[in-house]
Structure 1
Amino acid sequence: MSAGSERPLGRVYDAAYAGVPNWDIGRPQRPFVRLVEAGVLDGPILDVGCGTGELALFAARHGYDVLGVDLSELAVTQAREKARWRRVPAHFLVWDALRLSAFADAGLRFGSVLDSAMFHVLGDAERDAFVRELTAILESGGLYCVLGDRRENDRDVYGVSVPELRERFPSDRWELAYSEETAFERRWGATPAVFAVLRRR
């Protein structure tokens, strides 16, 4: 079942992945490398907005059972090709991150969810919807790990800030376990970013 084709945004990202997007640096972002190598994640892992799969493939090479999902059919095709040629047992699916609860309905839940620059592009209502969907599929004690461009202005929607994460993820269900200011690397340059780890209660 494919959910990506139901959203015009999927076609927008297909156009980006017809070339090499500036955010696709050919390897995982450094905060996720440290996290995976530290061995603190529980599986299975869901990589939301997985793009061409570098983060999912990296986690799978470290022994995790990983599913990557993305709206872009072209990105998912490229991720599957990488997995096949590198002989890495990661799985990829065209799927809308605002419909994650369908996995829970099918009996599938995750120990960790990784988000490398997906949350930071969502609109205000979409962020609330994503938190609800995420709550449905993440095991108690599981981690949601998010990296995104740092929000520069409280009036903006784009970007990530720690105060917003505290507000958006209710404390009766979530704990902000860790946060840091870092950089989001791009093929050309880097931008100030926020990396945060939230634990599902």
Structure 2
Amino acid sequence: MQPAHAEAGAIRGRVLDAGCGTGEHTLMAAGLGLDATGIDLASRALRTAEDKARVRGRTARFLRYDARELATFSEQFDTALDCGLFHVLGGEVRTAYVAGLRTVLRSGRRCFLLCISDRERGDWGTVHRASRSDVEAAFSDGWRIDSVEPSAIHLIGDPGHVEAWLVALTRT
């Protein structure tokens, strides 16, 4: 996510970071004083996230949970963040994930999504590069798409970044 979203107050309330990895976006939300929860399947990444939280003196919750099963998650959130999960899911799994996001996000609340776009030409294996129309189709039911903007996912090392879409959504 872009720090500008956080600075503008667009990230608020209870925050869910789906596929949080090592927790950078969860910790960003916690640093804003928000109730932040990160979920991921990778135990090692979650341990790293917890270590980062301790070192930075931030309070955040990290849970081992399958984001593809969000429809069964028994909590509700005001903001959902997805930086790098949507583009690794395809077909029915992606459909179930989006439906699960809708389940855990309160009506009228926001989701921010950063995914590898079809503009990216590098070889990223099994990543499902998303076109603008892929995003629109995935979020056509129960969502208002507020914006789809060209962006980048910054990487450590070569190539430095990956072409992406930054999507802002509101659950209807």
Q: Cα distance, 1:152 vs. partner?
A: 4.3
**SS in structure 2 opposite 1:160?**
coil
Equivalent residue number for residue 84 of structure 2: 117
Contact between 2:80 and 2:105, CA under 8 Å: does it hold in 1? yes
Consecutive unaligned residues of structure 1, counting only runs of 5 or more, are: 1-30
Moved segments of 4+, more than 3 Å? none
Which residue of 148, 153, 156 maps to 1:187?
156
The equivalent residue for 2:137 is 167
1:38-49 superposed matches below 5 A: 38-49=8-19
Q: TM-score normalized by structure 1?
A: 0.77
Once the 2 structures are TM-superposed, how far is the Cα of residue 167 of structure 1 from its aligned partner?
Answer: 1.0
Alpha carbons 1:150, 1:192 under 8 Å: kept: yes
Aligned to 2:123: none
Tell me the number of residue pairs that the alignment of Structure 1 and Structure 2 aligns. Answer: 165
* Larger strand share, 1 or 2: 2
Report the Cα distance in structure 2 between the residues aligned to 1:94 and 1:33, rounded to whole angstroms: 26
Amino acid at match of 2:88: V
Amino acid across the alignment from 1:74:
R
Q: 1:149 matched to which residue of 2?
A: 116
Work out whether residues 109 and 138 of structure 1, in 8 Å CA contact, stay in contact via their aligned partners in 2. Answer: yes
How far apart in 2 are the matches of 1:37 and 1:98?
Answer: 29
Instruction: Say which of 138, 147, 155 aligns to 1:178.
Output: 147
Structure 1 residue 101 displacement after superposition: 2.2
Q: CA RMSD in A?
A: 1.6
Structure 1 position 157, deviation (Å): 6.8
Identity, % of aligned pairs?
A: 36
Q: How far, CA to CA, are the matches of 2:10 and 2:100 in structure 1?
A: 23
CA contact (8 A) 2:11 2:29 kept: no
Q: Contact conserved, 2:119 with 2:164, CA < 8 A, in 1?
A: no
Query: Could you tell me how far 1:61 is from its partner in structure 2?
Result: 0.5
